[in-house]
């Protein structure tokens, strides 16, 4: 049986339901991200695991124990908040010791554990400082140490990196991940940042409008998005309008394109195709059997990557190519031919946010 | 001088005179007890009067009790309202402001009707009971100041997230209130406490009509019968009030996380 089991959880506030039929089982030591835009119910689901909200329906089990109606202070979970939430009146050491003191552990044990925790987050020299004397990144590391000092059964992270600046965000997410691996603690991480979710998680739960759209590992989520919403929300994507011509063939404008599988529509009906920027090349190769003519609308030089927007008969396509010091980036308004494989382009099903909007972000 | 600054300067000067002239005149008069020379005789007489010492210490004790009761009443209430019933905040704030609208004389007559010696809860039947009633009355009078100070203090820290953080670490509600909330609104409670102190020290109506030997009625008594001593007493009362205001400034600027000691240190450094 899995360690954390959420089955059939629904949460309504008055007439509005914010979480529908949430099912998830997590293994011990797994790192799972809840990914979605704001208002998708991911934080509400996390707060139900923490015990700050009670599900309207369904059960939550931790290590076989039904905790659906257990008070938050009896659940033995650790939580890290976006706003750090360190106790401003206590020193860093006292903050980390708080949970152990509340649990009535012997003084010597608390001292050892606090020392151990501060060493773990590499801040032993700040033990006697107060939270306001620390930077945001340091405060969040202390909050993490405080949460894991009590050896919780599940660690809940509620957008812990959102208030930090870009560089610290990247270094701290690596630190969180390696700490989590080292301690083998089951972790739920809530974020709206797909890069964080992709880089840190064992599995990602993509949510929209209170429902789970897809559960899978980062590779699956990125490469085989099940819904239009997932495809648009995770990563950058171009959408092309096409018409099915029977079998694996479709037509974009006047050009015939081959897909890796037959789309689930009748020949003659129109459908949307998704194309990742890195799946397209301006250079032909034997396996890139599909070809599409276009004209460069815009070129953005991003350093290691050159991103082009190219107008085609099916819509605008984003194309990424690696920077080559020997060749300057192509000029605007140049006519080009796009080359991509049959597996690189796939039909989208279901409704969702317009992926084009997500592609522009 | 710049022309645009003439009008403000005149207004500030007039306002300053309006406040300072009576004060200086009172101070000057209070030092003229010995004819033909300035002395502190009136102050000596006041401080030597056993009734001054008795009434002043009575009021100080009453003020301290009021502060404790007020804090015990207001801190959990303000916390609970902010955490669980944020929609009721307006209503509770209105209720706490009522003592500013309802005059103390109405309050005390209400008390005397409800709690007199022949009522079902005869507070005024005994001296101790009357003292308790007096302190309860003071707690009501100080409610507007105490509640606003504490509520503002709680607004300055993220009560909800701190509560949830403590809860997830296994703390009970009581522990959270004592170890997390209270220490972080200490500066706010203190500023409410100093205001309460200033109000109770000078309060006349409740103490007089409940016939308790407090400082307010003593001030009135001396004022009605003596010439120089009331002026000296007025100056003493001013000094106490100003000391309270000073402390309020000192602790009111305390940032959460800085201990009181460090606040004083900071203040000391600024003063030097």
The answer to whether B170 contacts A130, with C-beta atoms less than 8 Å apart, is no
Domain hosting A278: range is 230-360
What is the structure's pLDDT at A235? 84
CATH of the domain at A268: 2.40.50.100
CB atoms within 10 A of CB A49: 24
Find the angle CA(B178)-CA(B184)-CA(B188) to the nearest 5 degrees. 110
What is the structure's pLDDT at A348? 79
Q: Which of A49, A70, A85, A113 to mutate to test the interface with B (most CBs of B within 10 A)?
A: A85
Q: Are residues A42 and A160 in the same domain?
A: yes
Q: Are residues A335 and A282 in the same domain?
A: yes
Q: Are residues A313 and A214 in the same domain?
A: no
Q: Which residues of chain B approach chain A closer than 8 Å at the C-beta?
A: 157-158, 161-162, 164-172, 175, 179-180, 183-184, 186, 255-259
What is the structure's pLDDT at A328? 85
Of B164, B170, B257, the CB nearest to A88: B257
The interface predicted TM-score (ipTM) is: 0.81
Q: Are residues A114 and A209 in the same domain?
A: yes
What is the structure's pLDDT at A351? 43
Q: What is the interface size between A and B, counted as CB pairs within 8 Å?
A: 80
CB atoms within 10 A of CB B18: 9
Q: Are residues A222 and A238 in the same domain?
A: no
**Across the strands, what pairs with A64?**
none
Q: Which candidate, B77, B101, B75, places its Cα nearest to that of B89?
A: B77
- What are B190's two structure tokens? 């203190």
Residue with tokens 């100093």: B194
Closest-CA distance, B188 to chain A, in angstroms, reads 14
The answer to whether A98 contacts B166, with C-beta atoms less than 8 Å apart, is yes
Closest-CA distance, A210 to chain B, in angstroms, reads 23
Q: How many residues does chain B have?
A: 272
Is A146 an 8 Å CB contact of chain B?
yes
pLDDT at A259 over 80: yes
Residues of chain B found within 8 Å of residue A50, distances taken between Cβ atoms: 164, 168
Of A81, A86, A99, the CB nearest to B170: A99
Count: domains in chain A? 2
**Mean pLDDT calculated for residue range A170-197:** 93
Is A104 an 8 Å CB contact of chain B?
no
Q: Are residues A70 and A141 in the same domain?
A: yes
Is A128 an 8 Å CB contact of chain B?
no
Of B170, B171, B257, the CB nearest to A131: B257
Q: Are residues A199 and A257 in the same domain?
A: no
B187: confidence class by pLDDT, cuts 50, 70, 90: confident
Could you tell me the CA-to-CA distances from A55 to A18, A47, A63, A231 in Å, in that order?
A: 11, 10, 19, 29
3-state per-residue secondary structure call for chain B? CCHHHHHHHHHHHHHHHHHHHHHHHHHHHHCCCCCCCCCCHHHHHHHHCHHHHHHHHHHHHHHHHHHHHHHHHHHHHHHHHHHHCHHHHHHHHHHHHHHHHCCHHHHHHHHHHHHCCCCCCCHHHCHHHHHHHHHHHHHHHHHHHHHHHHHHHHHHCCHHHHHHHHHHCCCCHHHHHHHHHHHHCHHHHHHHHHHHHHHHHHCCHHHHHCCCCCHHHHHHHHHHHCCHHHHHHHHHHHHHHHHHHHHHHHHHCCCCCCCHHHHHHHHHHHHC
Strand runs labelled E in A99-166: 154-158
What is the structure's pLDDT at B202? 86
Q: Report how far residue A216's alpha carbon sits from residue A205's, in angstroms, rounded to the nearest whole number.
A: 7
Q: How does pLDDT run across B74-107, given as a tens digit for each residue?
A: 999 999 999 989 999 999 999 999 999 999 999 9
* Integer-rounded Cα radius of gyration of chain A: 24
Closest-CA distance, B151 to chain A, in angstroms, reads 17
pLDDT at A304 over 50: yes
Q: Are residues A114 and A34 in the same domain?
A: yes
CATH of the domain at A188: 3.40.50.300
Instruction: Among A210, A226, A242, give the residue marking a domain's end.
Output: A226
Instruction: Among A226, A241, A264, give the residue marking a domain's end.
Output: A226
Of B168, B180, B259, the CB nearest to A87: B180
3-state per-residue secondary structure call for A158-227? ECCCCCCCHHHHHHHHHHHHHHHHHHCCEEEEEECCHHHHHHHCCEEEEEECCEEEEEECHHHHHHCCCC
Q: Are residues A204 and A314 in the same domain?
A: no
What is the structure's pLDDT at A343? 87
Instruction: Among A194, A226, A258, give the residue marking a domain's end.
Output: A226
Q: What domains, with CATH codes, occur in chain B? A: 56-271 (1.10.3720.10)
What is the structure's pLDDT at A1? 67
**Mean pLDDT calculated for residue range A151-173:** 92
Is A85 an 8 Å CB contact of chain B?
yes
């Amino acid at each position: 049986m899995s360690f954390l089991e959420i089955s059939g959880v629904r949460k309504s506030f008055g007439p509005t339901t914010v979480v529908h039929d949430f099912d998830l089982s997590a293994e011990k030591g797994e790192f799972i991200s809840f990914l979605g835009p704001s208002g998708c119910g991911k934080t509400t689901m996390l707060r139900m695991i923490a015990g700050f909200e009670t599900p309207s329906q369904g059960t939550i089990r931790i290590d076989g124990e039904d905790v659906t109606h257990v008070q938050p202070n009896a659940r033995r979970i650790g939580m890290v908040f976006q706003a750090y939430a360190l106790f401003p009146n206590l020193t860093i050491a006292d903050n980390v010791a708080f949970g152990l003191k509340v649990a009535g552990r012997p003084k010597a044990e608390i001292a050892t554990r606090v020392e151990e925790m501060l060493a773990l987050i590499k801040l032993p020299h700040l033990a006697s400082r107060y939270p306001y004397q620390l930077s945001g990144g340091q405060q969040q590391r202390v909050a993490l140490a405080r949460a894991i000092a009590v050896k919780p059964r599940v660690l809940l992270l509620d957008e812990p990196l959102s208030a930090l600046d870009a560089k610290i965000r990247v270094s701290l997410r690596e630190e969180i991940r390696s700490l989590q691996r080292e301690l083998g603690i089951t972790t739920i991480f809530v974020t709206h940042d797909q890069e964080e979710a992709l880089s840190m998680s064992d599995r990602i739960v993509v949510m929209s409008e209170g429902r789970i759209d897809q559960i899978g590992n980062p590779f699956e989520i990125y490469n085989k998005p099940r819904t239009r919403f997932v495809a648009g929300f995770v990563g950058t994507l171009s959408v092309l309008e096409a018409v099915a011509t029977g079998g694996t063939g479709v037509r974009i404008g006047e050009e015939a394109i081959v897909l890796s599988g037959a789309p689930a529509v009748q020949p003659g009906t129109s459908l949307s195709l998704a194309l990742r920027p890195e799946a397209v090349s301006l250079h032909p190769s034997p396996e890139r059997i599909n070809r599409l003519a276009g004209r460069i609308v815009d070129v953005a030089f991003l350093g290691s990557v050159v991103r082009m927007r190219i107008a085609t008969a099916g819509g605008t396509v984003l194309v990424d190519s690696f920077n080559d010091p020997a060749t300057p980036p192509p000029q605007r308004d140049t006519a080009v031919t796009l080359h991509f494989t049959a597996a690189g382009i796939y039909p989208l099903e279901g409704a969702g946010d317009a992926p084009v909007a997500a592609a522009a972000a | 001088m710049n022309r645009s600054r003439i009008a403000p300067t005149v207004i500030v000067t007039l306002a300053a005179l309006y406040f300072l002239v009576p004060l200086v005149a009172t101070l000057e008069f209070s030092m003229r007890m010995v004819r033909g020379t300035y002395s502190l005789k009136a102050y000596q007489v006041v401080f030597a009067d056993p009734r001054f010492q008795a009434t002043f210490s009575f009021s100080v004790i009453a003020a301290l009790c009021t502060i404790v009761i007020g804090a015990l009443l207001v801190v959990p209430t303000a916390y609970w309202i902010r955490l669980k019933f944020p929609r009721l905040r307006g209503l509770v704030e209105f209720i706490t402001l009522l003592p500013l609208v309802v005059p103390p004389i109405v309050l005390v007559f209400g008390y005397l009707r409800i709690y007199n010696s022949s009522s079902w809860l005869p507070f005024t039947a005994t001296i101790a009971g009357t003292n308790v009633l007096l302190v309860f009355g003071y707690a009501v009078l100080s409610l507007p100041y105490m509640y606003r100070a504490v509520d503002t203090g709680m607004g300055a820290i993220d009560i909800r997230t701190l509560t949830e953080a403590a809860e997830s670490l296994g703390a009970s509600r009581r522990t959270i209130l004592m170890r997390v909330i209270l220490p972080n609104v200490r500066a706010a409670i203190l500023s409410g406490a100093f205001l309460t102190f200033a109000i109770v020290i000078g309060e006349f109506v409740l103490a007089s009509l409940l016939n308790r030997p407090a400082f307010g009625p003593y001030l009135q008594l001396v004022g009605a019968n003596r010439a120089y001593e009331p002026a000296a007493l007025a100056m003493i009362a001013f000094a106490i009030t100003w000391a309270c205001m000073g402390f309020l400034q000192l602790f009111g600027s305390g940032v959460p996380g800085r201990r009181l000691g460090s606040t004083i240190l900071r203040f000391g450094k600024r003063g030097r």
